[in-house]
């Protein structure tokens, strides 16, 4: 509010939201009480009632759905907050880990386990990371809604469980490696989003392709060959079998499955970026659009009619279209 917003306005980030739909009482009642995505039958009924063509009604619903989505300014501020945190915590993690022996030799993660002292710097690192992911867990219900809400919810649950479990069982050394490795790509992702919101397309493209490279190398290369290798094999060789080992590894493998899913989406977006010459939008929160988005006044079906209804006519104002079952809301 006090830092990101002034920065966004200084960079001329668009402050207004999507184009608002034309006020219409009947369509608004259908939108709020029945469905945000009317089917063909309902569209035809509304078309007869309002004397609008179906395409105009579809456009109204599309604009009304977009109206509830956040503005570019809101998205920029959210990305700037996350970028600031990721940059700080990644820098802190690198400065802390470069002084530790287990960064250069992963077998040192298990040297003297479980009687390893909890250093103040390591404790601070864990508490700050855990606090941030708890904040994401709660704020995702009020922040910008994404299409991959369920996947992100699962990711936050697994991450919080991993951080807490590794802290309780004193598996913190390998935990710090995992945290730092994951923060590396997130810094570049948020920077790419901010560049996109500022309409710096070339910089956004470059940052996105950099993010794609860092993400795939770190999550599909370094993570399994370095982190999973030491927890699945080196830990077993050093300490043998114990219950916490299986729980810890199960959580790490679930995280790797999520990495594979996101890598597929990233590779798909990177392919579009290379083939079309620019990076695709963050399609988890895109505003719906069409070639006729600029047309705001609905066309009447009747060529002789020059006045459109304001949505106050009809029996009970609904023509019987508020009597159906409700549909699930759009995320």
Does pLDDT of 79 surpass 90?
yes
Read off the pLDDT of each residue in 277-281 and give the average, rounded to a whole number.
55
Residue 60 CA to residue 296 CA, distance in Å, equals 8
- Segment of 13-27, 209-223, 284-298 carrying the highest mean pLDDT: 209-223
The DSSP secondary structure of 65-95, one letter per residue, reads: HHHTSPPHHHHHHHHHHHHHHHHHHHHHHHH
Residue 296 has a pLDDT of 41
Instruction: Count Cα atoms within 13 angstroms, Cβ side, for 195.
Output: 19
Read off the pLDDT of each residue in 183-203 and give the average, rounded to a whole number.
94
Residue 144 has a pLDDT of 64
Chain mean pLDDT for the chain: 82
pLDDT tens for 155-171 read 899 999 999 999 999 99
φ, ψ (nearest 5 deg) of residue 300 = -75, 145
Instruction: Count Cα atoms within 13 angstroms, Cβ side, for 155.
Output: 16
Residue 186 CA to residue 129 CA, distance in Å, equals 13
Distance of CA 85 to the CA centre of its chain: 16
Does pLDDT of 71 surpass 50?
yes
Q: Provide the pLDDT confidence category of residue 321 given band limits of 50, 70 and 90.
A: very low
Count of other CB atoms within 10 angstroms of residue 96:
17
Does pLDDT of 52 surpass 70?
yes
| 140 against 244, higher pLDDT | 244
Q: Provide the pLDDT confidence category of residue 279 given band limits of 50, 70 and 90.
A: low
Does pLDDT of 21 surpass 70?
yes
Residue 57 has a pLDDT of 86
Contact 210, 188 (CB under 8 A): yes
Nearest of 159, 110, 172, 101 to residue 130 by alpha carbon: 159
- Segment of 1-10, 137-146, 275-284 carrying the highest mean pLDDT: 1-10
Domain ranges of the chain: 19-68, 72-276
Q: How far is CA 5 from CA 1, 75, 76, 92, 301, in A?
A: 5, 10, 8, 26, 45
Contact 85, 189 (CB under 8 A): no
Pick the CATH number of 19-68 from 2.40.10.10, 3.40.50.2300, 1.10.3720.10, 1.10.10.60: 1.10.10.60
In the chain, pLDDT over 90 holds for what percent of residues?
Answer: 49
Residue 165 has a pLDDT of 95
């Amino acid at each position: 509010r006090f830092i990101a917003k002034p920065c966004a306005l200084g960079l001329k980030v668009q402050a207004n939201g999507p184009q608002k739909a034309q006020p219409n009482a009947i369509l608004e009642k259908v939108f709020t009480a029945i469905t945000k995505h009317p089917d063909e039958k309902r569209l035809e009924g509304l078309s007869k009632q309002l004397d609008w063509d179906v395409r105009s009604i579809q456009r109204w619903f599309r604009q009304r759905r977009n109206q509830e989505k956040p503005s570019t300014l809101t998205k920029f501020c959210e990305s700037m907050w996350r970028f600031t945190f990721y940059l700080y915590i990644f820098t802190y993690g690198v400065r802390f880990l470069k002084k530790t022996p287990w960064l250069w030799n992963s077998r040192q993660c298990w040297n003297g386990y479980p009687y390893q002292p909890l250093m103040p710097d390591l404790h601070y690192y864990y508490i700050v990371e855990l606090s941030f992911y708890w904040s994401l867990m709660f704020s995702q219900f009020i922040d910008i809604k994404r299409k991959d809400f369920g996947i992100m919810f699962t990711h936050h649950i697994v991450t919080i469980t991993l951080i807490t479990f590794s802290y309780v069982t004193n598996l913190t050394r390998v935990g710090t490696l995992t945290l730092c490795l994951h923060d590396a790509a997130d810094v570049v992702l948020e920077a790419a989003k901010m560049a996109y919101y500022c309409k710096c397309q070339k910089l956004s493209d470059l940052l996105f392709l950099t993010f794609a490279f860092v993400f795939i190398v770190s999550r599909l290369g370094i993570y399994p060959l370095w982190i999973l290798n030491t927890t699945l094999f080196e830990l077993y060789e050093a300490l043998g079998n114990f219950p916490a080992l299986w729980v810890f590894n199960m959580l790490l493998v679930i995280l790797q499955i999520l990495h594979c899913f996101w890598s597929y989406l990233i590779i798909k977006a990177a392919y579009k970026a290379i083939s079309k010459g620019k990076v695709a939008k963050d399609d988890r929160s895109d505003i719906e659009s069409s070639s006729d988005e600029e047309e705001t006044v609905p066309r009447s079906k009747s060529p002789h009619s020059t006045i459109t209804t304001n949505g106050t006519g009809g029996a009970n104002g609904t023509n019987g279209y508020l009597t159906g079952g409700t549909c699930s809301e759009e995320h």
